[in-house]
Structure 1
Amino acid sequence: MLLKDAIASVSEGNDLKRETAEAVARSLADASVPGEHKKAILLALAEKGEVADEVAAFASVFQDLATNPGLSGTEGAIDVVGTGGDRSGSFNISTTSAIILAASGVPVVKHGNRSVTSKCGSADFLEALGINLKAPQTLRQRSFDELNFVFLFAPAFHPAFKEVVPIRKELAAEGKRTIFNLLGPLINPGRPDHLLMGVFSASWVSPLAEALGSLKVKSGLVVNSAIGEGGVMDEFTCAGANRVCGVGTLNHLNGTISPVDAGLSPCAFDDLKGGDVAQNLKMLDALLDGSAPQGLIDTICLNVGAALWITDRADDLSAGVKQANEILQSGVVSKWLERVKAVYQK
């Protein structure tokens, strides 16, 4: 009766109370609940328009249902991640930013998956760099201890999702987004203290910041970049205006940040375009040797700089960007990538 009552209420335009939303989320993970009921509530929520409390409730439940990765020493860690779904076909900006942060000594607990709407997802990219997506707990811990980096491959940590996957695929085939298109960055089983989160729509920046606040993220930023002609990206870019909202210690921030505000120049979106795994690996090499398009270099520095600010390694965004540029030019990232191979081949 829970789902039937919830469907009726939501269909009338009512938001779910936090406790009810949590119960609905748990019912979606229940194998005994009929698929048509699950589909109906997801559609009803999408048509009404999900709100921050509903997203936070779902995130809290599915994070609780996730497998504990068994990591220690992760205090102060960050995840740099996007919801995906922007269909921009860009380079792996968030993942590369996370790599640079780890190489510079910032602890990173990265959560991600293979590509869904692009040719190269975070998992595809990291696997090509030598990271074992299905590493056992001892290897995950060693990676975090020695590299300041651990990757949590989403399918390995969210067994409850198997009860929702068929419905999500069915709805995706119909071209319909659901609340699950927002949850990935919110349900990192490693529960990092800090988060730089990109989202596919500017309308979701403020609600997701509110949701993250209720999930006790210590500090973070939620961002969406408008890149012209209706295009968007789920990360900071120098190709447009960045709609940003802060979380935790940065919750005073709510507005727009341009590349100029961070001491950078605007760029064309073409500078940020990616390709398949092989193409993106070549772009990473170009980034590290300084031959990449300046717009890509600046955009990476903008994201790394924001993360340094979030983790209190920089006083503000401009200082973070300057520091990011120094890190990129120092050669530490190339050395870090060599250590990746050593750690994962032991």
Structure 2
Amino acid sequence: MTNQQTEKNLTVGDIGEQGILNEILPLLDAKDAGLGPGDDAGALRVAGGEVVVSVDTIVQDQDFRLVWPSGHEHKAYDIGWKSIAQNVSDINAMGGVPTGAVVSLSMPSDVTLSWAKEFARGIAGAITSLGADRLAILGGDLSRSSEISVTTTVLGECEHGKVLRNGAKSGDLVAVAGRLGSAGAGLALLDALQDSTSWNRAVLRLVEAQCKPVPPLESGPRAAQAGASAMMDISDGLLRDAGRLARASRVSLELDRQALEVFAQRLEPAATLLKADPMEWVLRGGEDFGLLATFPAEAEIPEEFTVIGKVLRTTGRRSTIRLDGKQLDYRNGFDHFG
């Protein structure tokens, strides 16, 4: 079978998100205008500096459900909030500050006006509550569709220079800022066939972490100023994203289980309810939109970062991620086409 025949028979589900990117990115010419695809945001050179750009889409029944199996209703406010939060997180991961956004909302014609207004209030609420004070909504688009879909493009500036994924060096420290596993635990609760009306406050906080994520927006610029050698946001799970950073930097990472236990302890309310291992959410749960960064050993790491490991040389052909010396499969995690 020829390569062309193989491509005709393959589906995007067969090769997954990373496989799709591997195939299509070489076909797209970034020209000499800045930084092309491959990091959390692109960068475009303009007169007087650079603008970083990121775009994300959330789709009903793929990224959220209006009513979850648990019976929990997903509020329009929270959908508006998350559409902003996940995008400003990408700018944050470059060490940047979000400055402008355009939002495209597609929805069925029977969606109520009150839903649309609550969605808009969620956008405004996220901008205010997350501290994205310089972020202005520049415009967008409305369209009719069979389900609710939101595409948001955010622009930003990197005052301390942009931080990429490919700068980690052997001997650097690995650190995280923000939450780990909370959104993953929240998603498991939402998908569980348990009555959400019985959830206590501790459980509801984990559900909110999934529906209304809180990226640590001040931490990206602080990390850049402190000399972070590499950085990205944790959107698809710590292991999967650590693997991306390691491959981009051509290094391996050694993680410390004891350092990660503090995050696992915060997930006990969900772990008890669902009889689950909270460390699995810490390692593989996505959508907390925290930061994964590496710093030179001599750097003064911002206090909100927790050191969870170190960067090692890659001894074989492939970058590896180890937890207390045990090699882990970092390919498992959220995949839009998996």
**More strand, by proportion:** 2
TM-score category of the 2 structures, normalised to the smaller one: under 0.3
TM normalised by structure 1 equals: 0.27
TM normalised by structure 2 equals: 0.28
State the structure with bigger RCO (CA 8 A, min sep 6), 1 or 2. Answer: 2
